[in-house]
Structure 1
Amino acid sequence: MPGAVAAGWTKPKRFDRNLVVIGAGSAGLVSAYIAAAAKAKVTLVEANKMGGDCLNFGCVPSKALIKSAKVAHQMRHADRYGLEAVEPKVPFSAVMERIHKVIAEIEPHDSVERYTGLGVEVLQGYAKLIDPWTVEIALSSGGTQRLTTRAIIIATGAQPFVPPIPGLAEVGYLTSDTLWERLRDRPEVPRRLVVLGGGPIGCELAQSFARLGSQVAQIEMAPRVMMREDPDAAGFVEASLKADGVQVLTGHKAVACGTDGDEKWIEVEHAGGRDRIGFDEIIVAVGRAPRLKGFGLEELGIKVDRVVETNEYLQTLYPNILAAGDVAGPYQFTHVAGHQAWFAAINALFGDLKRFKADYSVIPWATFTDPEVARVGLSEAEAKEKKIPYEVTRFGIDDLDRAIADGSAHGFVKVLTVPGKDKILGVTIVGEHAGDLLAEFVFAMKHGHGLGKILGTIHIYPTLAEANKMVAGQWRRAHINGFLLSLLERFQTWRRG
């Protein structure tokens, strides 16, 4: 550790642990797992639930909700498949109970018992850094425990950001963290629901609740939903939301909440003036903010603005204190948190010998609306903004045999390539199972394969995965050498005599 940084602190001569990990979400669990596998003495500290946000409040419960909502949607539109359409009965408490059963079934993967069995010491409580090598844990069972450690990984995750809208706290709001418990025993879906936010979480929840029977108003101050995606991809999502009955209010800014007797309302400001919208429940889904406070970081001089400030090795001001996952940024995805955890753990344990830069060259993500939107690499908007030359090849999934047979013939595969070459710069897929289809392109980009390799790979017929080969074929047809083609025609003419 550089002397200037270490000045004023007394480094222990011996350490209780090789590594202390604070937070048992994706980044923390993977970090602890790697440390245990490397035979390090590691302690994992978690103040709330093992598995973090993804298992308990995010990925897992939301996908279970999406599935129930999709089944209800298919029942309502069964006539599209030659069956009799029926209006589904939705005992909402049963839907919520199923969600909690799904969480319980996955829970053992992230449990204290499993990690203890792997050789990780798991402590339930709140951790705080006392100095660069000492962590104090206020144990949930009572009392405190201090541990000295060679390295520390901050993996405290993020929590829903709640905007300072006057009256919001007074009317009572839900977030993606609280709705699973707060609505658990409710026999029916909220009759009138406001979803604040037009990003991935807001869109997923708005569509799901609409399909389960809620009257949903979705409020987004930006000019469209899904602002991180290209307009053509976001347009599919918005059209689907509206088809499911969601009142999509883009260009609307929430300015106040209040009550008139038992009636709750939110006031929105837009180009045409102001309106009030009545609701029974409101879900705030405008983004997530890293958990930065209460861990002793600022007292040590570690910068915490929007995230914990780290270098390319995920090290903070102190090389032995690292951060990974949502708390470190720059992406808030479970799979990126796990990806970062490898670099954080290896650098924490072996950084004195060799360090590895965190690799963000190929980062995929998906939004699980219907249709799904999945992307890796550059979008068209980003390419234009950065003035990166590109070509676009696009295949409409409405022309794919399996999609037609499944009744899911909508969406597209869009590939950005280097002009004149098959090197992939970015891919956006909109459609059924887009997140699964994207994996082939993620692999290709990671290992430097172009569209030619995908075209030369056999894809099972009839599958949705053929869309990837189809778009590669379209690229090939657009880049046929006209001169060679004319020579080939002359050769075939000569062969006929």
Structure 2
Amino acid sequence: MKKAYLLMVITALVVGFFFFDLDRLLTLEGLKQGLAQFEAWRTDQPMVIGGAFLLLYVLVTALSLPGAAVMTLAAGALFGLLWGTIIVSFASTVGATLAFLISRYLLHDTVQKRFGDRLKPINEGIKKDGAFYLFTLRLVPVFPFFLINLLMGLTPIRALTFFWVSQVGMLAGTLVYVNAGTQLAQLDSLSGILSPSLLLSFALLGVFPLLAKKLLAVIKARRVYAGYQKPSHFDRNLIVIGAGAGGLVTAYIAAAVKAKVTLIEAHKMGGDCLNYGCVPSKALIKSAKLAHQMRQADHYGLEATSPHFSFRKVMARVHEVIRQVEPHDSIERYEGLGVEIIQGYARLVDPWTVEIKRNDGSVQQLTSRSIVLATGARPFIPPLPGIKEVGYVTSDTLWDEFAKLDEAPKRLVVLGGGPIGCELAQSFTRLGSQVTQVEMAPRILIREDEEVSEFAKASLQGDGVAVLTNHKALRCEKQGGTKRLIMEYEGVEKIIEFDTLLCAVGRVARLQGYGLEELGIETNRTIVTNDYLETLYPNIYAAGDVAGPYQFTHTAAHQAWYAAVNALFSQFKRFKVDYRIIPWTTFIDPEVAQVGLNEQEAKKKGIAFEVTRYGLEDLDRAITDGAAHGFVKVLTEPGKDRILGVTIVGKHGGDLMAEFVLAMKHGLGLSKILGTIHAYPTWAEANKYAAGEWKRAHAPERVLIWLEKYHQWRRGNAKTSPADGPATKHSDASDRLG
């Protein structure tokens, strides 16, 4: 209600301004005609006229009315260069700040709620460098100042910062206009002030903040590097610490552009993904899925059978798959690409020097112009009392531990309801374990929409997993030879016995032992970096799980490109990391894939959206494959086909997502997907049919009514009413395609 009253007052003032023809007074011609009268008033009552002029200027600026430029000229003509500049400088700044505050009060929350996701990069940029951006705009009068006032009110810049930056930034332009006002009689038009040469001068002034920013960066760097002696020459162009996905891709790119690069790894090449994560887990999932299909063979017209297998052989196959993929990440391959590989532990001595304790016991130091930290992450072990006594495995250690077993653990407790916990819980229950999954949150896969979590839970329970949500693990204990987990559920303690405990409650960045603390490099769960992946020291970068915010192999590789290019070529051009389109997949059965926003994220961010769904039970290929369950859910802008996010639950969901990732990356809407030929019968048709559902929901009903009339006329049956309906029913195919 208060906003409505304020808006009514502002509207009344603006209408009154034009109704009483006050706008004519604030023209160059009107100013010249009234100048003699103004001077007489000023001579009689200089303080009153000066104060009234200041207040009027504030009002004109605050209401974004036309005439501020003419009033600035008037200030020069009435009060001279000194006092005219002082009055206008303060009046324009106060008025601009009032316009800023009005815009913030009336529009900020609404705009941020509706467009918050798209404005996020701008908001973050304003928070970091808003003063510089504003100062640049204030120095260049090509940009309307009233527009700057209103738009800045929609950003998170502080009002005090807006005030003093505006005061300083507008001073140069104020001086030019006030000085021109002292020669008012000689001016025929405002264009006489803003000549091409003067505009060029202002444009050059506008470059000043950018130069100042560069200068401040240099000063900051000198301060950061103070106390360290920079080498006169360097042994390497780039040193990369860690040979996981982030480190391997960084080193690969550096070698490809002929930089001298050294890659340091203390353990296995390929990092977590090859040795403990993506590769072994997907190999295990495949074996478990085949065992499940054998039990469900009657669904395909075959005789169902209970699979007989050696668990030891299943785990041996997992290790064999690792060995087959290993050459892709091997020392031999990367040395062949021109990368020097050193096996050992690396520690930063200073911003340019790395000390390496080789695995053979020797120690050496290397200097490098740039360094990339890609040290990865490790499983998080919850601090449960008694957990060490009962023993546990993680997603890193289970591959070696379980390889020794002749059969799967009989009673397996999986702590954690995230993607890793869900994948492993389903796999081991299909391989014969009695699995209990414990999650303290209200549901598993908490980052997904609620319906997705429920779908996943039902799938796991259908395979035999006991999924316990809202269960908080309290402690572990041994009673005789029995291991027990004590949990809390709705205030009551519950006990479950187990043979093996698998901790899958998340992963934490590897931060210790690399010299980060000694160099003062800030960490907060991950290494703190800027938009260019730079740490405190501009020549030291971080990429992959250790940098966050995502812990995916593909995002580590994505960051690696930015880290490598910025590390090697930042003196020419730096690139901000682009996180706008990040897909991921949880490889349970059926798969859960997502890119962009889902419903709960959109609601949390206040982003308006429409939902389009296509159920896979209608897809011919899904029916033939006996997997007709799941859905494709697309979020779009209201009334438009621009894709905000996609969730796919179903077989091959991760592969189906690629088309939507490509569409979002290149700004292609659902209409483009609908207009693309998809082979029949394939799973990819689900994407087209989802686009068809959107198209059908947005069919131009009024146009269709007239088209129906047109076709009736063409049949010579113009009297038939559209209300009679079509003569034939739409085919199933036409329904799908919209």
Q: Which residue matches 2:638?
A: 419
Report what 1:433 is aligned to: 652
Q: Deviations over 1:386-407 (max 9, x none)?
A: 1100000000001100001100
Give 2:202's aligned residue: none
Query: Mapping of 1:403-482 within 5 angstroms?
Result: 403-482=622-701
Q: How does 1:195-210 map to 2 (within 5 A)?
A: 195-210=414-429
- CA distance, structure 2, for counterparts of residue 278 and residue 493 of structure 1: 74
Counterpart of 1:104, as a letter, is R
Q: Distance in 1 between matches of 2:315 and 2:558?
A: 31
Q: Which of 292, 297, 302 matches 2:521? A: 302
Corresponding residue of 1:141:
360
Q: Distance in 2 between matches of 1:86 and 1:192?
A: 23
- Could you say which residue in structure 2 is the equivalent of 1:125? 344
Letter in 2 for 1:70: K
Q: Give 2:37's aligned residue.
A: none
* Deviation at residue 329 of structure 1 after TM alignment: 0.2
> Within 2, Cα distance between the matches of 1:404 and 1:209?
27
Equivalent-residue separation in structure 2 for 1:272 and 1:242 (angstroms): 24
Partner Cα distance (1:275, 1:76) in 2: 33
Separation of aligned partners in 2, 1:420 and 1:214: 49
Q: Distance in 2 between matches of 1:493 and 1:192?
A: 70
CA distance in 2, matches of 1:183, 1:362: 37
Mean CA deviation greater in 6-15 or 269-278: 269-278
In the alignment, the residues of structure 2 paired with residue 281 and residue 427 of structure 1 have an alpha-carbon distance, to the nearest angstrom, of: 37
Instruction: For residue 272 of structure 1, report the CA deviation from its aligned partner.
Output: 5.6
TM-score normalised by structure 2 residue count: 0.67
CA distance in 2, matches of 1:213, 1:468: 36
Q: Match for residue 371 of structure 1?
A: 590
Which residue in 1 is equivalent to 2:398? Answer: 179
> How many residues were matched structurally?
497
Alignment map for 1:3-402 (pairs within 5 Å)? 3-271=222-490, 273-402=492-621
SS at match of 2:369: strand
Q: Which has the higher contact order (CA 8 A, sep 6+)?
A: 1
Shift of 1:236: 1.2
In 1, Cα distance between the equivalents of 2:365 and 2:688? Answer: 57
Residues 184-218 of structure 1 show CA distances to partners (whole Å, capped at 9, x for unaligned) of: 12100000000000000000000000000000000
Q: Contact 1:26 / 1:52 at 8 angstroms: preserved in 2?
A: yes
Shift >4 Å, 4+ stretches: none
2:343 match: secondary structure: strand
- CA distance in 1: counterparts of 2:655 and 2:360, whole angstroms: 43
Superposed CA offset, 1:277-332 (max 9, x none): 11110100000000001100111111012100000000001110000000000000
Q: CA deviation at 1:50?
A: 0.2
CA contact (8 A) 1:90 1:212 kept: no
CA contact (8 A) 1:236 1:371 kept: no
Q: 1:330, 1:191 → 2: CA distance?
A: 36
Letter in 1 for 2:318: I
Post-superposition shift, 1:26? Answer: 0.1
Shift in Å, 1:275? 1.2
Bigger shift: residues 250-259 or 271-280: 271-280
The one-letter code matched in structure 2 to 1:64 is: A
Report the Cα distance in structure 2 between the residues aligned to 1:286 and 1:352, rounded to whole angstroms.
Answer: 42
Residue type of the alignment partner of 1:165? L
Give the whole-Å Cα distance in 2 for the aligned partners of 1:470 and 1:459.
10
AA aligned to 1:418 is E
For 2:394, give the aligned amino acid.
T
Per-residue displacement from partner, 1:97-137 (whole Å, max 9, x unpaired)?
A: 00000000000000000000000000000000000000000
Q: CA deviation at 1:489?
A: 0.8
CA distance in 1, matches of 2:501, 2:541: 37
Partner Cα distance (1:262, 1:23) in 2: 41
CA offsets per residue over residues 342-390 of structure 1, 9 Å max, x none?
0000000001110000000100000000010000000100000111000
Report the alpha carbon displacement of residue 267 of structure 1 after superposing the two structures with TM: 0.6
Match of 1:163, SS state, is coil
Q: Normalized against structure 1, the TM-score is what?
A: 0.99
Amino acid of the structure 1 residue aligned with 2:239: V
Q: What is the percentage of aligned positions where both structures have the same residue? A: 67
Could you say which structure has the larger radius of gyration?
Answer: 2
Task: Tell me how far apart the structure 2 counterparts of residues 421 and 344 of structure 1 sit (CA, whole Å).
Answer: 36
Structure 1 residue 149 displacement after superposition: 0.2
Alignment correspondent of 2:83: none
Larger strand percent: 1
Q: Name the aligned partner's letter for residue 166 of structure 1.
A: P
Deviations along 1:86-106, whole A, 9 cap, x unmatched?
Answer: 111131100000000000000
Amino acid of the structure 2 residue aligned with 1:278: E
Tell me, in whole angstroms, the C-alpha distance in 2 between the residues paired with 1:117 and 1:491.
Answer: 70
Residue type matched to 1:426 in 2? G
**1:446-493 residue CA offsets vs partner (Å, 9 max, x unmatched):** 000000000000001101110000000000000011111111111111
CA distance in 2, matches of 1:297, 1:260: 43
Q: Equivalents in 2 of 1:90, 1:385: separation in Å?
A: 47
- Structure 2 Cα separation of the partners of residues 474 and 179 of structure 1: 45
Q: Whole-Å Cα distance in 2 between the matches of residues 352 and 282 of structure 1?
A: 51
Q: Secondary structure at the match of 1:458?
A: coil
| Counterpart in the other structure of 1:490 | 709
Task: Verify the 8 A CA contact 1:437 1:464 in the aligned structure 2.
Answer: yes
Which has the larger share of helix? 2
Question: Is the partner of 2:535 in helix, strand or coil?
Answer: coil
Q: Specify every segment of 5 or more residues in structure 2 that has no aligned partner in the other structure, as ranges.
A: 1-217, 717-738
SS in 1 for 2:527: coil
The one-letter code matched in structure 1 to 2:456 is V
Residue pair 1:400, 1:409 contacting (<8 A) in 2 also: yes
8 Å Cα contact 1:253/1:270 also seen in 2: yes
Cα distance in 2 for partners of 1:305, 1:491 equals 67
The corresponding residue for 2:67 is: none
Structure 2 letter corresponding to 1:25: G
